[in-house]
């Protein structure tokens, strides 16, 4: 009976989520927070990041990033184009970047050590913006909240049968299982999807999609060790490069058409 209640409760948690389909055809569970709440969370996180800083005062770097973001934003859906996108460059050596709901893009100055030209920088930024327009933040929040609710119900059921020891064990093992089997694989799916969407965006904006391959080769050369693939939130680097190469070949005509249509960014 208790197992039946757990199953019913789990079904209820999942039913509370909305199901949608991403632009790549992947089924997503979203709806734990509204778009307005997501935008507020994004704005708050961005403000906190800027306050923590340090922010780069290099005018050329800031203009460079702004130029690339503006070119990519022009290729977004209408609702996303209407947002007043904000950018910031952080004086941090780690080659990293992020984008947040509500039109926020942050880039570490260290990214310029691996993104050697505007096309490679566009590959980074388009990938991060891809996370935003594919609702990945909503999806992750929804999955995490759902997982926490299910684990809480499971721990309560185990506790009623086996006492506190059973409850603690389910909580510990359940958390590990959720991390390994639900949250991280979902992140790898999102990373792959952001690669797909990002290459499409950069190509439509007039950036060479083949540059994404060189970017990741540079990232591998600059990076050290990494955790096993099954414990990583990112796809295997070599597999990723192979997929980027295959898509780049398909997207070259899109890139050439964009250039012929006058979309020829000159960011730096």
- What CA–CA distance (Å, rounded) separates 186 from 19? 15
- Residue 37 CA to residue 33 CA, distance in Å, equals 6
Residues recognised as catalytic: 128
CA-wise closest residue to 101 among 50, 143, 44, 48: 44
The dihedral region occupied by 262, where left means phi > 0, alpha psi between -120 and 50, and beta the remainder, is: left
Tell me the C-alpha distance between 64 and 195, whole Å. Answer: 22
Which residues share a beta bridge with 20? 28
> Sign of dihedral through CA atoms 153, 158, 160, 163?
negative
Q: How many helices (H) and strands (E) does the chain have?
A: 9, 5
């Amino acid at each position: 009976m208790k197992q039946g209640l757990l199953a019913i409760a789990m079904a209820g948690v999942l039913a509370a989520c909305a199901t949608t389909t991403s632009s790549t055809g992947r089924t997503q569970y979203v709806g734990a927070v509204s778009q307005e709440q997501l935008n507020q969370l994004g704005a708050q996180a961005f403000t906190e990041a800027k306050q923590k800083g340090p922010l780069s005062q290099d005018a050329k770097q800031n203009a460079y990033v702004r130029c690339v973001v503006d070119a990519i934003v022009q290729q977004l859906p209408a609702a996303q184009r209407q947002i007043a996108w904000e950018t910031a460059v952080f004086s941090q050596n780690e080659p990293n970047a992020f984008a947040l709901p509500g039109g926020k893009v942050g880039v570490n100055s260290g990214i310029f050590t691996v993104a050697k030209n505007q096309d490679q920088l566009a590959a980074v930024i388009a990938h991060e913006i891809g996370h935003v327009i594919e609702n990945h933040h909503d999806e992750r929040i929804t999955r995490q909240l759902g997982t926490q609710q299910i684990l809480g119900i499971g721990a309560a059921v185990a506790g009623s049968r086996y006492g506190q020891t059973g409850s603690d064990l389910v909580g510990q093992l359940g958390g590990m299982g959720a991390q390994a089997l639900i949250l991280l694989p979902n992140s790898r799916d999102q990373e792959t999807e952001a690669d797909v969407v990002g290459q499409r965006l950069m190509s439509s904006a007039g950036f060479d999609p083949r540059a994404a391959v060189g970017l990741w080769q540079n990232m591998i050369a600059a990076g050290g060790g990494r955790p096993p693939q099954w414990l990583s939130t990112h796809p295997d680097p070599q597999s990723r490069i192979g997929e980027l190469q295959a898509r780049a070949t398909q997207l070259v005509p899109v890139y050439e058409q964009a250039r012929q249509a006058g979309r020829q960014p000159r960011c730096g």
